[in-house]
Amino acid sequence: MSNKAPIIVGLDIGTTKIAAIAGRKNEFGKLEILGFGRADSSGVNHGMVLNIEQCIRSIKQALDNCLQSNPNLEINEVYIGIAGHHIKSLQTRGDMVRKNIEDEISREEILQLINDQYKTYIPAGDQIIDIIPQDFTVDNTPNIIDAVGMSGIKIGANFHIVTGDKHAIRNINRCVEKSGLKTKELVLQPLASAAAVMCPEDLEAGVAIVDIGGGTTDLAVFYDGILKHTAVIPYAGVNITNDIKQGLGVLRTQAEQMKVQFGMALAAEAKNNAYITIPGIRGQHPKEISVKNLAHIIQARMEEILEYVLYHLKQINLEDKLHGGIILTGGGSQLKHLVQLTEFVTGLNTRIGLPNEHLANGHVEDLMNPMYATCIGLILRGYDDFENNRARFTSENKMFTEDASAAFVRVGPEMFMPDSALNPQQPQQQQQQQPAEVAEAVADTMAAQPEPEEQQNKRGKTIHKIFEAIKTNVLKLFEEVEDERMD
């Protein structure tokens, strides 16, 4: 294990669970998990903090569990994956006449051009949290990706500006700070989860990543090595739970428990004579629920979500060109027989995206779960920053990042959708103490076979390529939310 590699901690603050994972890359370029902890999430809904104290307690519980798995850890800074329906976006353009036209275009001039976009008007109560340059123009030459080093009189660029409710952002940061931590960076969740579940072959073959979360389902389509399309489908785990609650006349907690333990996405696979007994309320008679009826309710909602996915694929004429098929991730992907239903509805090969592509041998088996894709991706994002030698500049109302080895400049923290409400709930006693095998696993030295240097470099470039590709178009999904939303 290289002593130069830092220990990076990802903190995934979701609607139903909060996960904290600490990892470090070994000499083979693989992530070794040094600590792992999770706790049930309280006070968070759709990525927004509704109760500060409850959220702080949940974060501290997850951190305590992580430290129990490895007492030698010291956690001070974390990468945060956050979400929220309060996110908005707008497109703008900036131009600047250079002062020293005889000199080459410098990175400082690019940063100045980006910094000028903070003067863009936004509604009161919102805050600019991200400015993403799409392409640059030098004089009359358009569609330039790397303008540094060129010559010209005038430089310009098209930008996507992301804004969010300043109080919602402040509440997330306040919860992290009151938990005794410092936010290293706020990360858009698709950037994290895509890097965790995709491999170089996926990026080349073309895939559609379907992240089934708690409040929304995120669709990201990759083709020819770049992000081709993104969309937000306003149905996900919460809608399934509400359908069960209303359709079967049970409590919300009972509906969630039935969905997790007995739910399946194909009603044809459910037994006709299987029933679930629900205890009566305050002495009432127990209620029996048919497993097949439960499956019919779940299948109806999942088919609706998948029809939206197929609709978006047809809009971009890629419904039969994605040789990599569909990758399901997020807590909702754990529904039984969902892979078969997805293949039936879309006609594309489907698999579950597990975040084990970049993990070293001997990693904690509990992490081979799609619900931890975002958290593993946060660590990968941290190493993407570290390995590309990014220098950070912060001020009171803005934060941006300069890549010292690339012309593309990433600015500010990034945000996206919440985790799924389909994550299994852990008993309170289990939350307070991690299983013994978890502590043993993270204490062991991870073993891995050496890889050729060429493959190591290819993996690092692929992760960086995924991060940079997503930025180009991912904000379109925020623009489509209102068009896609249905009652």
Domains defined along the chain, listed by start: 8-86+168-201+354-389+413-474 (3.30.420.40)
The pLDDT assigned to 419 comes to 36
Q: What is the DSSP letter of 77?
A: E
CB distance 294 to 262 below 8 Å: yes
> Residue 378 is which amino acid?
L
The pLDDT assigned to 150 comes to 92
Report the C-alpha dihedral over residues 63, 68, 69, 71, rounded to 10 degrees.
100
- DSSP string of 420-435, one letter each residue: PTTSPPPPHHHHHS--
CB distance 433 to 355 below 8 Å: no
The pLDDT assigned to 200 comes to 84
Phi and psi at 59, nearest 5°, equal -65, -45
- Say how far residue 2 (Cα) sits from the centre of its chain: 28
Among residues 64, 33, 71, 74, which one has the least CA distance to residue 441? 33
Distance (Å, whole) CA 433 – CA 64 = 9
Distance (Å, whole) CA 280 – CA 159 = 57
This prediction has a pTM of 0.70
Positions in the chain short of pLDDT 50: 1-2, 390-439, 441-450, 474-487
Inter-helix orientation angle 373-387/189-197, to 10°: 90
The pLDDT assigned to 299 comes to 96
Helix (H, G, I), strand (E, B) or coil at 382: helix
Distance (Å, whole) CA 209 – CA 231 = 11
For tokens 């299987």, name the residue: 274
- pLDDT tens for residues 392-419? 333 333 433 333 323 223 333 333 333 3
